[in-house]
């Protein structure tokens, strides 16, 4: 005979286990107060209007003591810490994340999921006057020392409100890990952090996902504390999004007329030996990348380091206001003689004096591709078409050009991948200075990946006085990994807060 379901006993006030558990997880009763709801709704609407008029931060709210039962929250934290976490790292973030918790059956996890996407979702829909769907989109994130989630807007189709429930130990500003909110400019692009929210035990933050909802999780600086949180999105009708802003391209220039005496003054004489150049070119043609150690003459490198380069107070140098030694090195990398040197080191056609093997003709005046016709199969025909297209592209190209800059790198600096950037063939050059003893765990390295792929193809680490050359095709993207707080001790040992690099791109 099946056991009877235990009912409430009016006389004793006892309840069955399921109802007891459900009672533990209810949200703070203050949220049911009409005055609290009206105040929150008014604040939300005021900030929403500010977004449209003044580009102020997106609307957000923070609810302290979100759940009534402290014992439930403690049990939930313990249950989450037992999950399997996957390390995640790319241009945008480094942290650990659980799988989606939509199917988890654990007692406290399933219960908090029901509360957030049931009772709280209904409450939030009424307060914000937004029709939120009853979909489950939630996971657990764990941030430890040097972990970070860089500036982004959370916008994906269907996301309307983001939320984070913090399950952290006592947290201070010095621990890092704040939720930083950004202001935006007239192009809806992030400008600067205007508000930082400190993680707090059993507090829930939620904000509207919009074209200006740029935010980040600042780097966790504490070596002992773990920033644990549950986060996800409520889905609903998306807000209108403006057309994507595309930054104007940096102007390119052809080589500047400087003779080869500049090479002999600046470049290690080893790299000016034609026999050594041939060896470098062979290695480069096999791998499409190479690092040339001790590239500048030591006296020239010391001259740069001693002449105020490391006292600059900007991320990208204005070449009109830098010391003469820096200007001279920039001219070296832009000079006609350096274009020829790069051609000899790589086999690329970066000067009209350098031959192009792809344009070699047979004795009849036709290329090998043109003489292969007749009985070729479909694949061969496609290859011929591609070759013809490539030849046409080369014929349409103008003279070789370049674009370059001097950059400063310090704690907190990084670059992100940009889908809007025009993808094309290029020779990337990086000449690092002031980074002796740099370690990979500091970040600051250049990572090359294939378009729409996460797998890393190549990593170029900062190495003092090393010239890195990488030939990049149309399907290869790159970014500079976020420089974390671990780098500070290394840089301070050299009495500086930063290292520098010349970054150039050359186009055939």
DSSP state string for 107-174: HHHHHHHHHIIIIIHHHHHHHHT--------EEEEEE-TT-EEEEE----TTEEEEEEEE--SS--GG
Report whether 213 contacts 366 (CB < 8 A): no
Q: Tell which of 209, 235, 261 closes a domain.
A: 235
- The reply to whether 192 falls in a domain is yes
Report whether 471 contacts 288 (CB < 8 A): yes
- The reply to whether 247 falls in a domain is no
Do residues 258 and 195 share a domain?
no
* Burial group, residue 84, by CB count within 10 angstroms (0-12, 13-18, 19+): exposed
Q: Tell which of 235, 264, 295 closes a domain.
A: 235
How many structural domains is the chain composed of? 2
Residue-number span of the structural domain to which 189 is assigned: 29-235
Beta-bridge partners for 71: none
- The reply to whether 4 falls in a domain is no
DSSP state of 351: S
- The reply to whether 388 falls in a domain is no
Q: Is the dihedral of CA 7, 10, 16, 18 positive or negative?
A: positive
CATH number at residue 43: 2.60.120.620
Please give the structure tokens belonging to residue 65.
């003591």
Do residues 271 and 196 share a domain?
no
Do residues 318 and 418 share a domain?
yes
Do residues 214 and 268 share a domain?
no
- The reply to whether 369 falls in a domain is no
Query: Could you tell me how far CA 453 lies from the centroid of its own chain?
Result: 14
Do residues 322 and 471 share a domain?
yes
Do residues 312 and 443 share a domain?
yes
* Burial group, residue 172, by CB count within 10 angstroms (0-12, 13-18, 19+): exposed
Q: How far is the C-alpha of 22 from the C-alpha of 26, rounded, in Å?
A: 7
- CA distances, 108 to each of 21, 25, 101, 231 (Å): 9, 9, 11, 15
- The reply to whether 315 falls in a domain is yes
Report whether 184 contacts 152 (CB < 8 A): no
Q: How far is the C-alpha of 87 from the C-alpha of 95, rounded, in Å?
A: 6
Do residues 230 and 92 share a domain?
yes
Q: Tell which of 182, 204, 235 closes a domain.
A: 235
Do residues 308 and 334 share a domain?
yes
Over its length of 508 residues, how does the chain's per-residue pLDDT go in tens digits?
334 333 333 333 444 444 444 445 678 877 777 877 777 777 777 654 333 333 456 788 889 999 989 999 999 999 999 999 999 999 999 999 998 887 777 789 999 999 999 999 999 998 888 999 988 789 999 999 999 999 999 988 889 999 999 999 999 999 999 999 999 999 999 999 999 999 999 999 999 999 999 999 999 999 999 999 999 999 999 888 888 888 888 899 999 999 899 999 999 999 999 999 999 999 999 999 999 999 999 999 998 887 755 555 557 888 888 888 999 999 999 999 999 999 999 999 999 887 655 544 444 444 433 333 333 333 333 334 444 444 444 445 679 999 999 999 999 999 999 876 788 999 999 999 999 999 999 999 999 999 888 789 999 999 999 999 999 999 999 999 999 999 998 888 888 889 999 999 999 9
Do residues 293 and 332 share a domain?
yes
Look-up of token digits 């920033």: 227
- The reply to whether 366 falls in a domain is no
Do residues 69 and 188 share a domain?
yes
Do residues 339 and 443 share a domain?
yes
- The reply to whether 103 falls in a domain is yes
Do residues 152 and 43 share a domain?
yes
């Amino acid at each position: 005979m099946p056991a009877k379901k235990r009912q409430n006993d009016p006389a004793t006030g006892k309840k069955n286990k399921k109802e007891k558990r459900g009672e533990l997880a209810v949200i703070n009763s203050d949220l049911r107060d009409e005055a609290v709801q009206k105040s929150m709704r008014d604040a939300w609407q005021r900030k929403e209007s500010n977004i449209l008029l003044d580009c102020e931060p997106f609307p957000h709210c923070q609810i302290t003591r979100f759940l009534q039962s402290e014992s439930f929250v403690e049990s939930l934290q313990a249950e989450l810490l037992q999950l399997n976490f996957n390390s995640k790292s790319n241009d945008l973030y480094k942290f650990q994340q659980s799988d989606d918790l939509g199917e988890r059956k654990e007692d406290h996890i399933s219960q908090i999921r029901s509360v957030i996407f049931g009772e709280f979702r209904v409450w939030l829909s009424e307060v914000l006057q937004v029709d939120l769907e009853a979909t489950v989109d939630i996971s657990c994130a764990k941030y430890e020392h040097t972990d970070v989630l860089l500036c982004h807007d959370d916008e994906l189709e269907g996301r309307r409100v983001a939320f984070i429930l913090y399950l952290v130990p006592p947290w201070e500003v010095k621990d890092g890990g704040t939720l930083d909110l950004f202001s935006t400019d007239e192009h809806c692009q992030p400008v600067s952090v205007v508000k930082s929210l400190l993680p707090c035990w059993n507090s829930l933050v939620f904000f509207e996902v919009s074209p200006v909802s740029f935010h980040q999780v600042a780097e966790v600086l504490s070596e002992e504390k773990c920033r644990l949180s549950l986060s996800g999105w409520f889905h609903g009708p998306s807000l209108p999004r403006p057309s994507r802003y595309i930054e104007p391209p940096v102007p390119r220039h052809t080589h500047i007329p400087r003779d080869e005496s500049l090479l002999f003054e600046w470049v290690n004489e080893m790299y000016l030996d034609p026999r050594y150049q041939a060896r470098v070119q062979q290695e480069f043609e096999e791998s499409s990348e190479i690092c040339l150690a001790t590239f500048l003459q030591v006296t020239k490198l010391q001259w740069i380091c001693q002449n105020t380069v490391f006292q600059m107070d900007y991320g990208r140098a204005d070449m009109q206001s830098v010391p003469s030694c820096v200007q001279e090195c920039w001219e070296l990398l832009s000079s006609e003689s350096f274009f020829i040197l790069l051609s000899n080191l790589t086999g690329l056609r970066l000067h009209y004096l350098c031959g192009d093997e792809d344009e070699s003709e047979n004795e009849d005046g036709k290329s090998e591709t043109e003489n292969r016709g007749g009985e070729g199969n479909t694949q061969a025909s496609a290859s011929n078409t591609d070759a013809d297209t490539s030849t046409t592209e080369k014929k349409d190209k103008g003279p070789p050009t370049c674009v370059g800059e001097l950059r400063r790198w310090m704690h907190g600096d990084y670059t992100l991948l940009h889908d809007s950037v025009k993808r094309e063939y290029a020779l990337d050059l990086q000449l690092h200075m002031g980074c002796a003893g740099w370690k990979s765990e500091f970040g600051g390295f250049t990572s090359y990946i294939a378009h729409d792929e996460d797998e890393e193809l190549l990593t170029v680490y900062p190495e003092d006085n090393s010239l890195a050359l990488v030939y990049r095709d149309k399907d290869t993207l790159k970014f500079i990994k976020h420089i974390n707080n671990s780098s500070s001790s290394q840089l301070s040992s050299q009495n500086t807060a930063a290292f520098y690099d010349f970054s150039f791109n050359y186009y055939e």
